[in-house]
Chains A and B, each alone.
Chain A
């Protein structure tokens, strides 16, 4: 075979590969498919009608605030994500905001709009800043606590890694007006303290404990974060019919297999069904790129944390069995409510996964006044 012909496919693969790796201009662009843009230009319309139009265009729903008297507003939105559009309406109305609790997907009177940043389907908001002066005898642990809440649209199912967070979120820069850094974070034993809160179906909360801000400061001009989620580029539904009788059945997902190794009622009591999955890729036959991809993102991180049992969707927690050190061979355990024998178990598995790195920037974050 001529050398040129042998090399051509390699060159093509390399070119395609390089094309794949080219950084997109918007770091959140890979998440574009998880949200529908809102485009809207209205003059002096009821804020409530504007919100309804936003929900219609985006396919998202929010519960309206009770006793709200919507104002007349003018907006000009061009292809913006749902959350940005909602926040804009709340700002213009002046008496409305998302419920501060991450568990509520509703608008609330007087809630206002906190410092907010957007990354495609995800909205990040600084929900609270607290000055903490603390003595843990004999040491002091004074700090500034910043809680950040992320909410995402219904079409987005993040991979919860590290569990239970949809990616890592770290503070890369936090400054006061004098240019003093609030880094490094304050490390302490986490008992009897405000906790980060974790994630639920459509939201997650992080808590950052930073160095204490000067007592005279009222604003942090710079708070830069970096969100590093795992991005499920291609997701496949893996279905097991009659799972209680499906022990050992394997399904192929791209370069690896997902086997339902065991699915049975806990024989020692309880109503739960215990299931075990084996995710396996034959590393000796994998193409170098596929092999590298699994080494970078091990198979246990390919499961989307949701399952569907007889059409009923639910969150799922997959526990890694053993040390999970072999990225090509992973055993996962999980439990399902088993009141009735299930007919169909549907799991969602990411065939291809990539790591994203998205800057999340907040400006002029207010901090509470220090007491006298």
Chain B
């Protein structure tokens, strides 16, 4: 992919320079429509036009430099999206009988992530065919066709896997690089609550890396359309169990996230939902800032601004065996923005504890071992504090760690059809 991109860029430099030159001139044209046309074309060309745009961004003509900078910002955003939200992968395979053990090899040329299968089933056969089918959809088809395979809840790092088991046959929606499914439907009838709990799962290809993995808020799952089997629209009545005695959430799995939504019981007589339509929102890093506190002994009380987050080194002292450090994070907003801001990526999900390091005089890094942490949020702010320990014999020259200063959201739409009320 990179080689192909470089070749396109080279071709543009060698053969399309005249176009870039013309577009550069057009960007400063007196006619606004001409300027807009040039801007659109430069966005279409994208990365290959970057060096020309960087030159134009330094132009003395404010109109030209402004437009060039705006295009560069868009390109930067697109580059970040590509980094964390890779393109969907598809599979094309002629309809036929295949040996399960041959599938990983056949997929290798189409999907840049390995497929793991149970070795003992490698000799089994299945009939399958696919034409530009999303990879998740293909894997579910493989399971159905085989009859003894299922997609495991947790995807292995950097790969896909199928394991031995009964195919779930759960309502599933394929959305770009995402697979969204209803894992469970529960209908409860008690004196205190009568309603449904829908447990959904979302997993993604290995080329997708959301920041809020394991920390989606309950508002990440949006159900926007609900109909009965005849297509009649049903009111979406979110409900929550009163006297809820606590529910177990699983936040520890990688490459997958499950959450739930409580709905009021469907009207009497409704035994099937015809359509459930909505989306799952995730957050990805838009800007990662390297937070640094130089000469930390003297930096206690200083603040590093990372986007809208103020990060303060509030403690740093030598104790037996190393250094104890305390970091305080604070993000503020206007009360009217509270609903949106409180559901943004939490401060504790914007960096990893183990990425906070203390660089010693000899250039080696000691990793922070977090001892305690506290988190709070209100209608006006979110704060997070960690107290940790660097195991080191040195005084330390620099405390540093990467921090997600800005994020972008992506919504993966879903649509489930003909879902039986349990």
Contacts and interface: CB of A to CB of B under 8 A. Distances in A.
Interface of A: 100-101, 128-138, 140, 142, 147, 190-197, 205, 207, 266-270, 368-372
B193 to A, nearest CB: 8
B388 to A, nearest CB: 7
A135 B184 contact: yes
A371 B265 contact: yes
B188 interface: yes
B245 A269 contact: no
B3 interface: no
A369 B190 CA distance: 8
28 contacts: A128-B190, A128-B191, A128-B192, A128-B243, A130-B190, A134-B184, A134-B185, A134-B422, A137-B169, A137-B182, A140-B422, A191-B199, A191-B249, A191-B250, A192-B184, A192-B248, A192-B258, A192-B260, A194-B244, A194-B246, A195-B246, A195-B247, A195-B248, A196-B245, A268-B321, A269-B371, A368-B189, A372-B268
B126 to A, nearest CB: 18
B145 to A, nearest CB: 16
Contacts of A140: 422
B63 interface: no
B170 interface: yes
Given A131-B190, A192-B197, A370-B189, A101 B248 contact: no
A197 B171 CA distance: 31
Contacts of B194: 368, 371
Nearest to B369: A268
B402 interface: no
Contacts of B320: 267
Nearest to B372: A270
A152 B259 CA distance: 36
A213 to B, nearest CB: 11
A146 B244 CA distance: 14
Contacts of B168: 137-138
A134, A266, A370: most-surrounded residue (chain B CB, <10 A):
A134
Nearest to B185: A135
B183 A190 contact: no
A131 B185 contact: no
Contacts of A101: 243
A207 to B, nearest CB: 8
B184 A137 contact: yes
Contact of B187 (A132, A266, A368): A132
Given A192-B249, A195-B245, A207-B245, 14 more contacts: A128-B190, A133-B187, A134-B185, A134-B187, A137-B184, A190-B248, A195-B247, A195-B248, A197-B245, A268-B322, A268-B369, A270-B372, A372-B268, A372-B269
Interface of B: 166-171, 181-194, 197, 199, 241, 243-250, 258, 260, 265, 268-269, 319-322, 324, 369, 371-372, 387-389, 420, 422
Contacts of B387: 269-270
Contact of A130 (B170, B184, B188, B265): B188
Given A131-B190, A192-B197, A137 B170 contact: yes
B184 A205 contact: no
Contacts of B189: 130-132, 368-371
A194 B186 CA distance: 11
Contact of A268 (B169, B249, B258, B389): B389
A267 B321 contact: yes
Contact of A137 (B183, B191, B319, B372): B183
B248 A193 contact: yes
B188 A132 contact: yes
A100 B193 CA distance: 14
Contacts of B192: 128
Nearest to B315: A269
A318 B248 CA distance: 23
A372 B169 CA distance: 26
Of residues A142, A147, A192, A269, which shows the largest number of chain B Cβ atoms within 10 Å of its Cβ? A269
A372 B194 CA distance: 12
A268 B318 CA distance: 10
Contacts of A130: 188-190, 193
A352 to B, nearest CB: 35
Contact of A134 (B166, B186, B244): B186
A232 to B, nearest CB: 28
A135 B422 contact: yes
A339 B245 CA distance: 32
Contacts of B372: 269-270
Contacts of B420: 135
Given A192-B258, A372-B268, A133 B186 contact: yes
Nearest to A207: B245
B186 A205 contact: no
Contacts of B181: 137
B245 A192 contact: no
A140 B184 CA distance: 10
Contacts of B268: 371-372
A267 B248 CA distance: 33
